Amino acid sequence: MVLAVDDEDRGLDELLYCLRRNGRVRRILTAFDSADALRVLRSNDAELRERSRAGLSPVDVVFLDIAMPGLDGMELGKVLTAFRVPPALIFVTGFDNQSLEAFNVGATDYLVKPPTADRVDEALRRAERLRKPESGMATITPVEDEVIPVELAGTTKLIPRSSIRYVEAQGDYARLHTVEGSHLVRIPLSQLEERWSEVGFARIHRSYLVSLALVSELQMSSSGYSVRLGTGETAIELPVSRRHTRELKDRLVRPPKRGLGPGR
Which residues are CB-neighbours of 128 under 8 A, at least 6 positions away?
Answer: 24, 138
Q: Buried b vs exposed e over 43-61: b needs ≥16 C-beta within 10 Å?
A: eeeeebeebeeeebbbbbb
Tell whether the torsion through CA atoms of 70, 74, 75 and 81 is positive or negative.
Answer: positive
Residue 161 and residue 182: Cα distance in Å, rounded? 13
Tens digit of each residue's pLDDT (9 = 90 or more) over 190-238:
989 988 888 889 999 999 999 998 888 888 888 889 999 987 778 899 9
Tens digit of each residue's pLDDT (9 = 90 or more) over 156-181:
778 888 889 999 999 889 999 998 88
Query: pTM, whole model, 2 decimals?
Result: 0.54
Residues 171, 190: contact at Cβ < 8 Å? no
